[in-house]
Amino acid sequence: MNRAHKITITKWSILVGAAGCLEIIARAGMIRRSTLTPVSEMFITLWKFFATGEIPVRFLKESSIAGNFFITFGEILLSFSFAVLIGLPIGILLWKFKALARILNPYLVSYYAIPVFALYPLIVGLFGIGILSITFMGWLFAIVAVIINTATGFEEVNKRIYPKVGKSLRLSRSKIFLWIYFPAATPYIFTGLKLGFIYSIIGVIASEFILSTKGLGYLVRFSYSAFETEIMYASMLLIVIIAVLINGALMRMEAWVYGRQGR
C-alpha cells in the first residue's frame, strides 16, 4: 500500500469514525434520544422524506420535501445571481477607478468582521418575513466576496505585457477588455463566485432560522422547537449533504478553470 493510498484511507476513516462514535454514543444511551439520534437513523429518516415526499411534522406550513428544497434553493440562486449581477460591475469599477477603490477599501476589508445576521430586526422591518428578506440576507453576505475578488482579478492582470499585445493587434479598448483582461482575470473572478455561492448558502440557511416560514433552514428550527429531534437531524443532514455536493461541484469547476491555465 503506497502513501497516497494510506492518506485516502485515513481521510475517510475520520468521517466514518466520527459517525461511528456518534452512533455508539446515541445507541448506548450516553446522550438522550431527544438530544441526539443515531446517525443511521438520521439517514433512515431522510430516506423516508424522499420515499414519501413529505416531512412528517404536524402544523408545518410547507410539508413536501420538494417544496422546501426548491424554496431554499431558489433563494440561494436568487441571492447569488444578484450578488454576481451587481458585484461584478462594482468590482470592475473599483479596478477602473483607483480613487473609488481607495475610498471603499476600508469598508470592504472590514465588511466580514461585521455580523450581518445581527441586523435581522432591521431586515424584518424593511422586508418583512419571507423570501425577500432571506434573499436580501444571502445577497448581503455574498456580494462583497464577489466584489473583492473581481477587483483583485483585474488588478492582477499582467499590465506590462497584455495591453501591448492587444494594442499591437490594433484591438479597440473594449475588445482588449473583453478578450484579454476578462479571461486573464477569470481565475480570481471564479474564486469570488465560488465564495459568493457558499456565502449565499450560509446566508440563506441561517436567515431561514429566523426570517422564514418555509425552507430547509426553517425545517431545522421548526422541528427543533416541536421536539421532533429525528426530523431535525434528518433535515440538518440534508443541508450538509447539499452543501457538500455543491462545494464538490464548485471545486471541480475550479480545478478545471485553474488546471487549464496550469497554475
Partner 1 sequence: MAVLEVRSLGKVYASHEVNIPSVEALKNINLTVNKGEFISIIGPSGCGKSTLFGVIGGLNECTSGEILIKGEKVRGPHPSIGMVFQEESAFPWLTCSENVEFGLKMMGVDKKERRAKSKEMIELVGLSEFENHYPGELSGGMRQRVAIARTLVMDPEIILMDEPFGALDEQTRVILGEELLRIWERIRATILFITHSISESVMLSDRIHVMSCRPGTFKKTIDVDIPRPRSSSTISTQRFGEITDQIWKELKEETTKAMKIRPSECVWADIHE
Task: By CB under 8 A, tell whether 263 contacts partner 1.
Answer: yes
Task: By CB under 8 A, tell whether 159 contacts partner 1.
Answer: no
Q: Which span (28-36, 77-85, 136-144, 156-164) binds partner 1, by CB under 8 A?
A: 156-164
Residues 76-115 as x/- pattern, contact with partner 1 by CB under 8 A: ----------------------------------------
Size of the site for partner 1 (CB under 8 A): 21
**69, 70, 120, 162: which one contacts partner 1 (CB under 8 A)?**
162
Residues 231-260 as x/- pattern, contact with partner 1 by CB under 8 A: -----------------------------x
C-alpha cell at 153: 482579478
First to last CA, the chain: 30
Question: Cα dihedral sign for 186, 189, 193, 199?
Answer: positive
Question: Which class for 82: exposed (0-12), middle (13-18), buried (19 or more C-beta within 10 A)?
Answer: middle
Q: Which span (160-168, 191-199, 203-211, 228-236) binds partner 1, by CB under 8 A?
A: 160-168
Residue 7 Cβ vs partner 1, minimum distance, rounded to whole Å:
26
Closer residue to partner 1, CB minimum distance, 176 or 226: 176
Task: By CB under 8 A, tell whether 158 contacts partner 1.
Answer: yes
- Under 8 Å between Cβ of 83 and 143: yes
Q: What is the DSSP string of 100-126?
A: HHHHHHHHHHHGGGS-GGGGHHHHHHH
Going by the DSSP 8-state scheme, the letter that residue 57 receives in this structure is -
**118, 161, 174, 225: which one contacts partner 1 (CB under 8 A)?**
161
Question: At residue 234, what is the residue type?
Answer: A
- Which letter, b or e, does each residue of 224-261 get, where b requires 16 or more Cβ atoms within 10 Å of its Cβ? beeebbbbbbbbbbbbeebeeebeeebeeeeeebeeee
Interaction residues for partner 1, span 164-183 (CB under 8 A): 164-165, 167-171, 175, 179-180, 183
Residues 6+ apart with CB under 8 A from 135: 75, 78, 79, 82, 204
Note the residues at the interface with partner 1 (CB under 8 A): 158, 160-162, 164-165, 167-171, 175, 179-180, 183-184, 186, 260-263
